[in-house]
Structure 1
């Protein structure tokens, strides 16, 4: 099945099966970081959109533990950067309808939480098709290592995703039920 067909199928599946209360507990997430010996304090998250699993509880929890939190902002030529953000700060809506920070304080996260449309056992991710995360990760990984953690629901897993040379593989995927590595 082609990416476009899979994307449509899984966006419909996510819409149909979405439950706002289905998420990953912040304590479970922190235990995961400790188990994997991930000590960085700079986390790039996302504001949930279009029935994505929310990570806002995780971001707020991490912020209280003195982590530096950031959210993506779409810039010129569809570039993406991460901007420092606090859960008490207001957001603006971008051209895609996604909330973004108002600040201009860029941050380079060492841990990146990435929303999923679908994923497979090989840690491949299907996104919305804009390539924002793939371009950002490709640019960033030239000079530094970033830990890429896909966040999604267990029902978004498929046996195999079609991939191309621009697709960036994840390091881990976390769902409400499992960890994949």
Structure 2
């Protein structure tokens, strides 16, 4: 499968949240601006760290994650698995997705259809046409729109409460909010992505489980 194009990282402004204790909770009026600044800086740090890993190292770690995903998911046959196309050093689970289909599962990829709306999942199989979407990520050109039974979301960072630090667009949180409660929500990332807290806010939705290498 073709690789997606590299996207340049951008520097973040300095912030002072690193001076706070992990259990810090500021007054409600002060939290949003501080958290936004801290998350932006932490996001840049974590992405830079994973991009510093060699391609070979990322592949080895991705296979470890894939093996653990098999254990967490268990049954594949007849289930729709919401996967993703790797971006900016994320774990590459494309080979795992092929194996999942060979075991009777179906793969759906997320598509940004409009700012401020949940992601749309479209069924995908090898050979189906792809096009560049938001952030230059490859997405299915067409395909049946479905609701996955299992949603696998890459994390930039995560904490002990299974809260996920993403890219800041809010797409996955909006998506998780509308998925049925029965949907198995799995976050995947490298072990170094764990942080004491992401300072979860009211719109943040925890994953059921986080799988790392």
Q: TM-score, normalization: structure 1?
A: 0.87
Q: For residue 110 of structure 2, what is the aligned residue in structure 1?
A: 72
| CA deviation vs aligned residue, 1:110-167 (integer Å, no higher than 9, x gap) | 10000110011110110000000000111224xx421110010111111222111001
CA contact (8 A) 1:40 1:111 kept: no
Question: C-alpha separation between the residues in 1 aligned to 2:99 and 2:115?
Answer: 33
CA contact (8 A) 2:129 2:142 kept: no
Quote how far apart the aligned CAs of 1:38 are: 8.3
Q: For residue 13 of structure 2, what is the aligned residue in structure 1?
A: none
Question: C-alpha separation between the residues in 2 aligned to 1:159 and 1:38?
Answer: 33
Quote how far apart the aligned CAs of 1:89 are: 2.1
Q: How many residues align?
A: 172
**2:191 corresponds to which of 123, 135, 154:** 154
Q: For residue 8 of structure 2, what is the aligned residue in structure 1?
A: none
Relative to structure 1, is the Cα distance of residues 90 and 38 closer, same or farther in structure 2, using a 3 angstrom cutoff? closer
Question: C-alpha separation between the residues in 2 aligned to 1:3 and 1:137?
Answer: 20
Quote how far apart the aligned CAs of 1:60 are: 0.8
Query: Matched residue of 1:62: which SS?
Result: helix
Quote how far apart the aligned CAs of 1:42 are: 1.1
Quote how far apart the aligned CAs of 1:40 are: 6.4
CA contact (8 A) 1:24 1:175 kept: no
Q: For residue 54 of structure 1, what is the aligned residue in structure 2?
A: 92
**1:31 corresponds to which of 71, 74, 79:** 71
Is residue 132 of structure 2 the alignment partner of residue 93 of structure 1?
Answer: yes
Gaps of 5+ in 2: 1-16, 18-37
CA contact (8 A) 1:118 1:157 kept: yes
Quote how far apart the aligned CAs of 1:78 are: 4.4
| Structure 1 runs of 4+ with >3 Å offset | 24-28, 37-40
Gaps of 5+ in 1: 177-181
Q: CA RMSD in A?
A: 1.9
Quote how far apart the aligned CAs of 1:5 are: 1.4
Q: Computing the radius of gyration over CA atoms, which structure comes out larger, 1 or 2? A: 2
Question: C-alpha separation between the residues in 2 aligned to 1:147 and 1:39?
Answer: 15
Relative to structure 1, is the Cα distance of residues 43 and 89 closer, same or farther in structure 2, using a 3 angstrom cutoff? same
Q: TM-score, normalization: structure 2?
A: 0.74
